[in-house]
Copies of this chain bind each other. A is one copy, B any other.
Amino acid sequence: MKKILHQAAAVALISEAYVRVRYAETDQMGIAYYANYLVWFEVGRNQYCRDCGFSYRDMERDTGLFFIVADASCRYKTPAKYEDELIIRTGIRELSRRTVRFGYEIERSDGEKIATGETLHVFINQQGRPSSLPEPYLTRLRGK
């Protein structure tokens, strides 16, 4: 049984990252194309790690592990448009030795709700096998 080390209720840390919608990210509907929200979630995760005191890049190099995505979902509320300034709030909803579930809220700078979402990641090694994230990183991800 997967032992959950950390759950949403206990999460204190919420990270904030900022993006401005690029022309490249719009489509002919005149709004941001729906797949780009998952890219912004990644920007949010990156900032979350940074706020926990490590860079995702260094973690990959140091541990030889990757956070492969097992599940992703997004609920779209108000379309993001070109040049909109977005705030991506990222937190951890669940953390075990082998998986982490991030939650996201995207808001426009004027407070309009843009989207919410989740991604579930499994820690894998370079051979693609599920692995345990070393304790120092688990501790940092807990945001303590």
- Say yes or no: B57 contacts A82, CB within 8 Å: yes
Which of A26, A28, A56, A70 is packed against the most chain B CB atoms within 10 Å? A28
Question: In this complex, what residue of B is CB-closest to A83?
Answer: B57
Complex Cα–Cα for A119 and B20 (A)? 21
This protein's copies in its complex:
4
Name the B residues within 8 Å of A75 (CB-CB): 70-71
Question: In this complex, what residue of B is CB-closest to A124?
Answer: B29
In the assembled complex, the CB of A77 is this many whole angstroms from the nearest CB of chain B, namely: 9
Binding site secondary structure of chain A: mixed
- Count the A residues whose beta carbon is within 8 Å of the partner chain — how many? 38
Q: Which 5 A-B pairs have the closest CB atoms?
A: A73-B73, A35-B38, A26-B28, A34-B69, A57-B83
- Say yes or no: B72 contacts A34, CB within 8 Å: yes
- Say yes or no: A74 contacts B71, CB within 8 Å: yes
Choice from B23, B46, B66 contacting A42 with Cβ under 8 Å: B23
A140 contacts B by Cβ under 8 Å: no
A30 contacts B by Cβ under 8 Å: yes
